Amino acid sequence: MRPPELLPLFAPAEALKGIGPRLAVLLKKAVRMPPGITAPRVLDLLWHMPTGVIDRRAEPSVAAAVPGTIATLKVRVVKHFAPPRGNAKAPYKVRCEDETGRIDLVFFHAERSFVERQLPMGELRYISGRIERYGETMQMAHPDYIVAPEARDELPMLEPVYPLTAGLSSKVLVKAMRQVADRAPSPAEWQDAAWLKRRGWPDFHAAVLRVHRPTDAADTGPGGAPWQRLAYDELLANQLALGLVRESYKAQRGRPVRGDGRIRTKIVAALPFALTNSQTQALKEIAADMGEPRRMLRLLQGDVGSGKTVVALMAMSIAVEAGAQAAMMAPTEVLARQHLETIQPFADAAGLRVALLTGREKGKPRADILERLAAGDIDILLGTHALFQEDVVFRDLAFAVIDEQHRFGVHQRLALQTKGGDGGANMLVMTATPIPRTLLMTHYGDLDVSKLTEKPAGRKPVTTKTLPIESIERLIERIRAQLAEGAQVYWVCPLIESSEKSELAAAEERHAHLKQAIGGEIGLIHGAMAAAEKDATMEAFSKGDLKVLVATTVIEVGVNVPNANIMVIEHAERYGLAQLHQLRGRVGRGSRESFCMLLYAGPLGNTARERLDMMERTEDGFEIAEKDLELRGGGEVLGARQSGMPEFRVAEVPGFTELLAAARDDARLILAKDPGLSSARGQSLRFLLYLFECDEAVRLFRAA
């Protein structure tokens, strides 16, 4: 169903002249392709953007050529000097001249017949490459281009420089890219004419030509008008697709779910603290959504320790008050069990029947849970990916919560939703990773957002200090004194960079060192341990049987030990800001004064220094998330590669945030006026969605 003008772009890369199976394999390594695409297409090359440009426009005479520069010369071939037979190290030289002087072309390990074919005696040739002086003689070693006068147009005077891979030559790729640019369609304009004029942007076809066949060196840069135009096209496609998916989802028949408040009142009475203003506001927004006849899809984002689990429990209670069931899914077993521990006392107080289903429940216990679930004897089911499985059948699922949403793909989200029968389940997704506004727009544009901005009462601020690794013994002394007063310590071992040592070895080494230096009960937890062993160690730490827990980053999410008040992170300079912030959130949960000690190995780079300064300066997760985005870029902050999130191929440009905000506003206006994209501009925008492979959205308007 693609528009016919796009078919040449969706052809395999091998459709281009000069690209055979061997080069296609190399292109696959060099070019970014969307998930699910296994062989490069012409379209993938179209979005393979240059990193710079080689300027060959200088055309001096031989006498005026400047050594050390790149120049294009018109010369006559005078004489060949082949190396003596048997001397493979000697170069092959070809003397050329114009009316002002002479220049030697030098070839090492060259095939004689090849050089003779390229440079026939007495003929005129254009040569382009770096000019060098050797003694009194001008030279050009291995010219980049040698072309006959009639083929002068084949010589790119401004040659884009592209990312390459071993075995793929720049010359071959440039040739292919020129063909790609020639295949670009000239569609009807989808952008607003006044907006294009204000920005000084070319039309789509001209933008592609100017990037891949430039006539001005500025055209190949991400700040140049052609690239900015294409970046905006990609962002507009992204925002339109999210808008269409969202509208279609919300238009699906849902069911109003309204409770009478009886269970929530009991939970609030059992809470040891009052709800914060932002918790109350979030609950109001969730309850209003659930009461609508369309499906709810909302994101609850709150920093570590802002009380998301309590909000989720209250929201699930609305479904139970209405006579239905609720489910809550977490990405790991440790986190699912943690939620159960947090929820259980309040559920008991309110008479809620709660169960846990993970991969560990097998045989009779599992069958028993499934039977009770189908009969409606379980009000709230907590679990991991195990909840997706086909034999998990609810009597009446009306509300589902997904925790740490970015670890699940959209399809997994929908799989849980469909267990809600005809009306589908209302959906709340939660994340403890505060998401910058920019990323909310690009990756979560299909969700409404509630934010928890305060910490619950009783949460202590955490004092954060950076220390050079050389001060480790001094730090151990201070920790020994704290332990004597009943403190508990997390000690996080570093991400390992060198290949001689594994993270496990580093953790074991630190564990042995601390045992010797401090003595007593010191635990060790790492990714290679069996789940039961991990849980047993965590439980011993929670109970206070262990004073120090040495760990790799497996403790990052969801671990709750209120008495633990010191977090030590070794080689903190190797971690991203979001990860440091998550780890720090493990302490400050009880009544003790809490500390986070960031040990670093110098010398620090600028980015690492900025990260550590930021950690000392603030505990505000939203501020930290914005800084993390600035330092690392969008894809990495949310782990785009693992989670099926869109990775932009063209739009990572200067001014990204401003362009994205404009694209979002534009998409909203377009869909408000023309939800089916049926106007003349709407038809062009459909073409745009096909071009950027927003297939989910394309399917929606085709079905409409």
Q: Could you give the CA distance from residue 495 to residue 314 in angstroms, rounded to a whole number?
A: 38
Whether residue 342 is contained in a domain is answered as yes
- 394 and 511 in a single domain? The answer is no
What confidence tier does 700 reach under pLDDT thresholds 50, 70, 90? low
Whether residue 134 is contained in a domain is answered as yes
What tokens does 79 get?
């004489």
- 507 and 408 in a single domain? The answer is no
Average pLDDT over every residue of 664-670: 92
Q: For 42-46, 124-128, 610-614, 695-699, which range has the lowest pLDDT when averaged over its residues?
A: 695-699
pLDDT value of residue 185? 94
pLDDT value of residue 633? 52
pLDDT value of residue 461? 85
Q: For 133-147, 182-196, 318-332, 643-657, which range has the lowest pLDDT when averaged over its residues?
A: 643-657
Average pLDDT over every residue of 446-473: 83
Whether residue 378 is contained in a domain is answered as yes
Question: Is it true that the peptide bond before 293 is cis, omega within 30 degrees of 0?
Answer: no
- 43 and 168 in a single domain? The answer is yes
Average pLDDT over every residue of 255-262: 92
What's 536's domain CATH number? Answer: 3.40.50.300
By C-alpha distance, which of 200, 238, 234, 240 is closest to 49? 234
- Confidence check: pLDDT of 653 > 70: yes
Which residue bears the tokens 């785009």? 640
- 274 and 294 in a single domain? The answer is yes
Whether residue 636 is contained in a domain is answered as no
pLDDT value of residue 255? 84
Q: Which of 452, 481, 508 is the last residue of a domain?
A: 452
- 371 and 386 in a single domain? The answer is yes
- 538 and 402 in a single domain? The answer is no
pLDDT value of residue 407? 54
- Confidence check: pLDDT of 306 > 60: yes
Q: Which of 452, 477, 493 is the last residue of a domain?
A: 452
What tokens does 254 get?
């849902």
Q: Model confidence over 23-60: pLDDT tens digits?
A: 999 999 999 887 678 899 999 999 999 999 999 999 99
Q: Model confidence over 64-79: pLDDT tens digits?
A: 999 999 999 999 999 9
Structural domain of residue 544, as residue ranges?
A: 462-618
Mean pLDDT in the chain?
86
Domains in the chain: how many in total? 4
- 523 and 393 in a single domain? The answer is no
- Confidence check: pLDDT of 512 > 60: yes
Whether residue 231 is contained in a domain is answered as no
By percentage, how much of the chain surpasses pLDDT 90?
52
- 170 and 311 in a single domain? The answer is no
What confidence tier does 644 reach under pLDDT thresholds 50, 70, 90? very low
- 171 and 206 in a single domain? The answer is yes
Listed in sequence order, the residues at least 6 apart from 113 whose beta carbon sits closer than 8 Å to its beta carbon are none
pLDDT value of residue 559? 62
Residue 689 Cα distances to 344, 438, 510, 684, angstroms: 47, 21, 53, 9
What confidence tier does 640 reach under pLDDT thresholds 50, 70, 90? very low
pTM of model > 0.75: no
Q: Model confidence over 187-214: pLDDT tens digits?
A: 999 999 999 999 999 999 999 999 999 9
pLDDT value of residue 395? 93
- Confidence check: pLDDT of 701 > 60: no
Q: Which of 452, 471, 501 is the last residue of a domain?
A: 452
pLDDT value of residue 615? 94
pLDDT value of residue 495? 59
- Confidence check: pLDDT of 123 > 70: yes
- Confidence check: pLDDT of 556 > 50: no
- Confidence check: pLDDT of 635 > 90: no
Q: Which residues pair with 160 in a beta bridge?
A: 53
What tokens does 411 get?
């399809």
Q: Model confidence over 332-366: pLDDT tens digits?
A: 887 888 889 889 999 999 999 999 999 888 899 99
Phi first, then psi: what are they for 331, rounded to 5°?
A: -75, -20
Whether residue 670 is contained in a domain is answered as no
Listed in sequence order, the residues at least 6 apart from 532 whose beta carbon sits closer than 8 Å to its beta carbon are none
- 298 and 405 in a single domain? The answer is yes
- Confidence check: pLDDT of 243 > 60: yes
- 382 and 275 in a single domain? The answer is yes
By percentage, how much of the chain surpasses pLDDT 70?
88
Residue 283 Cα distances to 249, 254, 326, 382, 577, angstroms: 22, 19, 16, 20, 29
- Confidence check: pLDDT of 638 > 70: no
Residue 59 Cα distances to 175, 216, 217, 227, 651, angstroms: 22, 16, 16, 28, 35
pLDDT value of residue 321? 97
Q: For 83-92, 285-294, 378-387, which range has the lowest pLDDT when averaged over its residues?
A: 83-92
pLDDT value of residue 641? 34
Whether residue 141 is contained in a domain is answered as yes
- 166 and 26 in a single domain? The answer is yes
The DSSP H or E segment spanning 55 is: strand 52-55
What confidence tier does 161 reach under pLDDT thresholds 50, 70, 90? very high
Q: Model confidence over 364-375: pLDDT tens digits?
A: 999 999 999 999
What's 148's domain CATH number? Answer: 2.40.50.140
Whether residue 232 is contained in a domain is answered as no
